[in-house]
Amino acid sequence: MPKPSLDYLFNPTSIAIAGVSPDAARPNLAQLFVSTLRNFGFKGEIYPLHPSGGELFGTKVYTNVREIPGPVDYVISAIPARFTPQLITDCVAKGVKAVHLFTSGYGEIEDEIGKKLEGEILKIARKGGMRLVGPNCMGLYNPSSGLTFAGDFPDQIGFPRQSGSLGLISQSGGNCIYTIREAAGRGVFFSKAISYGNAADLNETDYLEYMAEDAQTKLIAMYIEGVRDGKRFMQALKNLAGKKPVIINKGGNTETGARACASHTGSLAGSAAIWHDLIKQVGAIPAGSISELVDMGVAFLKMKVPNGRNTVVIGTGGGIAVQASDDITGAGLDLPILPLEVRKKLVAIYGTEAGSIFRNPVDAPPMASVEKYVEAVKAIAESDQVDVLILHCPFDIWAMVSRSLPLRPFIETVAVLAKVIDKPMAAVLHYDTNSGSRQMVEDVQKKFVDLGLPVYPSIQRAATAINKYIEYYERLRGENRLSRVSGSKRKAC
Amino acid sequence: MPKPSLDYLFNPTSIAIAGVSPDAARPNLAQLFVSTLRNFGFKGEIYPLHPSGGELFGTKVYTNVREIPGPVDYVISAIPARFTPQLITDCVAKGVKAVHLFTSGYGEIEDEIGKKLEGEILKIARKGGMRLVGPNCMGLYNPSSGLTFAGDFPDQIGFPRQSGSLGLISQSGGNCIYTIREAAGRGVFFSKAISYGNAADLNETDYLEYMAEDAQTKLIAMYIEGVRDGKRFMQALKNLAGKKPVIINKGGNTETGARACASHTGSLAGSAAIWHDLIKQVGAIPAGSISELVDMGVAFLKMKVPNGRNTVVIGTGGGIAVQASDDITGAGLDLPILPLEVRKKLVAIYGTEAGSIFRNPVDAPPMASVEKYVEAVKAIAESDQVDVLILHCPFDIWAMVSRSLPLRPFIETVAVLAKVIDKPMAAVLHYDTNSGSRQMVEDVQKKFVDLGLPVYPSIQRAATAINKYIEYYERLRGENRLSRVSGSKRKAC
């Protein structure tokens, strides 16, 4: 199989970093790139660059990229914008394949100087046949080649070394960081990721075409503020339709949001409604926020495609069940009353319905008796009227009852369930901002993720992601809405 | 000043608890009520009741409430529903003022037996001049009298002993627990709270009228699934209009949500849209969820009323700024471009705008230089074009940079700012689900709450609460929308 065209970008054999402070005691961002790449396990050569030369971590600091003896595939620039035309010129002379400009101060600045400078470096690079990543961006993450712009994970500050199958293309560095870390905490890992900034040269479509060809990437997620060439972008999405799902969150849906896009990456943002329609027409999936990107990644990569929308919520607390009902239905899923034969089974299991609710949501305290809980969930999952199960774990309330109702048997129960239940099943873990419930959720989430369970922080977020997941496969198969509940139309409210 | 009519309920001098397991080694829920009330500091007499008698924690267990020698103000019932008619009869005979039925299995059950039983106990109580709380509810919380249904705080399982000025009336026990714990974690404490369940006798309007008269209660929050007497309820709200703000979250906004209300508390839920309109007409404030109840409590009790909607977000990260812009405007606040003179001051402070954004949101990394951050926030707050400041602290991203940019100076900086900034100011602390950022947020939130800062978990939630807070005072003063930004109409999207 031929390598995708931008493969040299994600698998460089040597990297030079411009702007590195040669004094280990006075680290700057460029120096952090050096130490981060080393610690993360990048196998190729790393060459620090600084006009004053010297030595750092036992390695020579070169004063100019042209002085470096061996070949240089890739250069990361963290020097002030005004010095970059010279750097780009030197890189072309050296035969560098691509330069990543972490540097900002170009097209995203309101004055004309930045825009002019962006045009200038682009011209030099194009003339020299060299590609640019950015400017004004964090750059590349490829765990399998040890390429990263953040440290080790689960160290507080970094990204996972573990590879996965989600490819991320993000115009924003912050959103790229959020998405990678949040997804990893929920068991979703990445093939490659890129924070691409202003997209002066290589743009969203170039990266999309790369991810399309990349065998390791099974699902593509994008955060976009603006598109450089709309026609080519839409064509690339069309080519992917039915082959690899592409989930897109478009930033800047209001006048002020669009203004922020211009300030951030110099992008001209279009109307959100038009975007959503266009994206759907070419077979991609619009996401309302970056957290929704992650939520959908969890659904697509960790859950079987449900046969329909009949969802059963199994949780604790009547008030919470009311909110869950509104949220399930509001997101587009169905919440049918449990069939009478299932409810009869539940009454037989629990002895009575007093203090519980068996219609749906099912309010049955799991920790009162784990045996009963397993029996109940099995009885529900067995019904052919049920397509999706949601185990609702409200730690904001459970934290209160933890003293009398121990948590461990419940987790062991879910471990059993995760193995025996064949239906699509997710867990919703929510909590208040107090330490007790937060700590409980953290421990339980880790265990549930290890079991392979899709985990969500709220019913609303789970339902939205699962509904869009179902919708995608419906459209793919040219089917109508997968609904078997008659008369379950949502009320406008 | 005369005591409000239901004062005996929130300040009983003696409590009997029915259904207490007399064996300390075999605790049940009723026994937990005994130990919780003792530990929480209830000063009055506590009498455990159980048909088998015996002794518990060195106290006699009475076999019947009528055997108790002294007077009994209040009885908590945790016995099965079928035994409650006899208990209620005994309580009337003893001269008990009110019975709280934790017991469920009445009007919320689909069959006719439960509904009949609820009618039966109500008849006995009414005839004997005794009041009922519930059935099917958690009961009362009054920190100043040591009355609670949950343990100590910040112990993982309980409620704060500290009193405050928020009065909570919740039809759901779970939502009551969530609201009290979440609010306490954000520095908002309670005068009194009640989880009132099916409201067979005392209902939402009785509790509302009590909170209206209660001098300690400055703000009232309600979670309601259905209203027993709509006309009387609306009149009570009208009487409160302009005196004490009342925030109401109505559960059951969809067909399935309404069904869950019926299962939960036997309530018939109405349309959400009609509810919102009606509530606003009588001067109350609709909230979209119980988390919004808490968010609004934080705004009303911890923030000065803003003079207008001109909001400035000071944060980190361009992608995050885009989402913040959409969220601020989407919630109804204004996000004007910073006046040129303020932007000039910011350029002077930071030397350049490259790598930052000074329009609004302001993207200026606070931890790079705390001195510059203080100067920048001051310069923004000084502008008479600015009404609200939001310090945006995205720990999901900051967690990454924590190694090189220490957190402590930033917190000390905010401590300085909290003292010198006179404008309404809130902090938004958000984080991903990984341990690093969660722990950071927890520590920082505690410190910010101690500084008296209103704290929110997202821009969207902060903006929604602050906008409704402003709107309430506009309506109160009969003013038009407090907006000074021309041409800032929101785009539909």
Q: Render pLDDT for B22-54 as a digit per residue (tens, 0 to 9).
A: 999 888 889 989 988 998 999 999 999 999 999
Residue B138 tokens read as 């958690």
| Separation in Å, CA of A292 to nearest CA in chain B | 13
Edge-first strand listing for the sheet containing A14-18: A45-49, A14-18, A74-77, A98-101, A131-133
- A340-350 vs A370-382: helix crossing angle, rounded to 10: 170
CA distance A159 to A176: 11
Where in the sequence of chain A do the CATH 3.40.50.261 domains occur?
139-301, 305-476
Beta strands B131-133 and B98-101 are: parallel
- Closest by Cα among B70, B62, B134 to B105: B134
pLDDT at A274 over 60: yes
Q: CB-based contacts of A372: which residues, under 8 Å, 6+ apart? A: A349, A350, A364
- The predicted model gives A309-329 an average pLDDT of 88
Q: Which residue has the tokens 């309101």?
A: A110
CB contact under 8 A, B174 and A435: no
Instruction: Calculate ∠ Cα B279-B280-B281, nearest 5°.
Output: 90
% pLDDT > 90, chain B: 60
- CA A417 to CA A420: how far, in whole Å? 5
Taking an 8 Å cut-off on Cβ atoms, the answer to whether B318 and A353 are in contact is: no
Q: Residues B195-222: what's their mean pLDDT?
A: 96
Report the alpha-carbon distance of residue A309 to residue A327 in Å, rounded: 14
Cα distance between residue B69 and residue B269, in whole Å = 44
How wide is the angle at C-alpha A409 spanned by C-alphas A405 and A412, nearest 5°? 150
DSSP for A155-207 reads STTB--S-EEEEEEEES-HHHHHHHHHHHHHTT--EEEEEE-TT-SSS-HHHH
Higher pLDDT, B98 or A362: B98
Give the mean model confidence (pLDDT) for residues A305-328: 89
pLDDT by residue (tens digit) across A400-417?
Answer: 454 445 677 778 888 888
Mutate to test the interface with A, among B21, B344, B433 (most CBs of A within 10 A): B433
Taking CB atoms and an 8 Å cutoff, what residues of chain B touch A253? 326, 330, 491, 493
List the single residue in B with minimal CA-CA distance to A441: B433
Average pLDDT for residues B387-401, to the nearest whole number?
76
Instruction: Give the closest-approach CA distance of B20 to chain A in angstroms.
Output: 15
* Closest-approach residue (CA) in chain A for B249: A323
Minimal CA–CA distance to A233: which of A208, A258, A250?
Answer: A208
- Tell me the pLDDT of chain A averaged across its residues: 87
Tell me what pLDDT residue A230 has: 87
Q: Rg (Cα) of chain B, in Å, rounded?
A: 26
Element holding B377 (H helix, E strand): helix B370-382
Cα dihedral sign, A249-A252-A257-A260: positive
β-partners of residue A488 are: none
Min Cα separation B336/chain A (Å): 8
Q: Does B395 have pLDDT greater than 60? A: yes
A254 Cα to chain B: minimum distance (Å): 5
- The Cα–Cα gap between B447 and B451 comes to 6
Q: What is the pLDDT of residue B68?
A: 97
Pick the residue from chain B with its C-alpha nearest to A335.
B256
Closest CA to B158 of B71, B56, B48, B36: B36
Chain B residues touching A351 at Cβ < 8 A: none
Please report residues of A whose CB lies closer than 8 A to that of B162.
none
Most confident of A149-163, B255-269, B378-392: B378-392
CB-based contact B150 A223, cutoff 8 Å? no
pLDDT band at B480 (very low <50, low <70, confident <90, very high): low
Contact between chains at A254 and B457 (C-beta distance less than 8 A): no
Of the options 3.90.1150.10, 3.40.50.720, 3.40.50.880, 3.40.30.10, the CATH number for the domain spanning A7-133 = 3.40.50.720
Q: What is d(CA A368, CA B340) in angstroms, rounded to the nearest whole number?
A: 62
DSSP state of B143: G
- Whether A358 shows a pLDDT value over 50: the answer reads yes
Is there a contact between B189 and B143 (Cβ–Cβ < 8 Å)? yes
- The verdict on a CB contact (< 8 Å) between B361 and A32 is no
Question: Which of the residues A313, A322, A350, A461 would you substitute to probe the B interface, choosing the one with the greatest number of B C-beta atoms within 10 Å?
Answer: A322
Where along chain B do the CATH 3.40.50.720 domains lie?
Answer: 7-133
Cβ contacts (< 8 Å) between B251 and chain A: which residues? 319, 322-323, 326
Q: What is the pLDDT of residue B366?
A: 64
pLDDT reading at B425 higher than 60: yes
Residue with tokens 């949950």: B150
Closest residue in A to B429 (Cα–Cα): A433
The three-state secondary structure class of B317 is coil
DSSP category for residue B106:
S
Residues of B in contact with A177 (CB under 8 A): 396-397, 400
Q: Is the ipTM of this complex over 0.90?
A: no
pLDDT tens-digit series, residues B150-172? 765 444 557 899 999 999 999 99
Query: B208 with B236: CB under 8 angstroms?
Result: yes
Confidence band of B483 (pLDDT split at 50, 70, 90): very low
Q: Which fold has domain A139-301?
A: Rossmann fold (3.40.50)
How far apart, in Å, do the first and last CA atoms of chain A sit? 54
Considering only CB atoms, which chain A residues are within 8 Å of B329?
Answer: 254-257
**Encoded tokens for A261:** 């896009």
Least Cα separation, residue A3 to chain B (angstroms): 31
Q: Which residue of B has its CA nearest to A170?
A: B319
What are the phi and psi torsion angles at A50 (to 5°)?
A: -160, 140
Nearest to B322 among A225, A328, A445 (CB): A225
Instruction: Please indicate whether, in this complex, the C-beta atoms of B254 and A324 are within 8 angstroms of each other.
Output: no
Residue B276 to chain A, least CA–CA distance (Å): 10
- Of residues A100 and B393, the one with the higher pLDDT is A100
Choose the mutation target among B82, B181, B400, B444 for the interface with A, i.e. most A CBs under 10 Å: B400
Q: Residue A419: is its pLDDT beyond 90?
A: no
Range name among A146-155, A312-321, A340-349 with the lowest pLDDT average: A146-155
Three-class SS of residue A72? coil
Contact state of B151 with A493 under an 8 Å Cβ cutoff:
no
Count of positions (residues) in chain A = 493
Across the interface, of A174, A257, A402, the residue whose CB is closest to B325 is A257
- Where, residue-wise, is CATH 3.40.50.261 in chain B? 139-301, 306-476
Task: Note the pLDDT of residue B189.
Answer: 97
Asked if A435's CB is within 8 angstroms of B491's CB, the reply is: no
Comparison of pLDDT for B271 and B148, the residue scoring more: B148
Task: Tell me what pLDDT residue A483 has.
Answer: 43
Looking at the partner chain, which of A158, A263, A363 has a beta carbon nearest the beta carbon of B359? A263
Q: Do B355 and A105 touch (CB under 8 A)?
A: yes
**CATH code at A305-476:** 3.40.50.261
Cα B78 to Cα B72: distance, rounded to the nearest angstrom: 17
Q: Give percent of chain B above pLDDT 70.
A: 89
CATH H-level, domain B306-476: superfamily: Succinyl-CoA synthetase domains (3.40.50.261)
H-only helix segments in B79-111: 84-94
- Residue A397 with chain B: CB contacts under 8 Å: 174, 177-178
Confidence of residue A343 (pLDDT cuts 50, 70, 90): very high
Query: How many residues appear in chain B?
Result: 493
Segment holding B392, helix H or strand E: strand B388-394
Nearest neighbour of B186 by CB, restricted to A359, A433, A489: A433
Q: Is A105 helix (H, G, I), strand (E, B) or coil?
A: coil
Residue of B223, B323, B400 with shortest CB distance to A251: B323
CB contact under 8 A, B254 and A325: yes
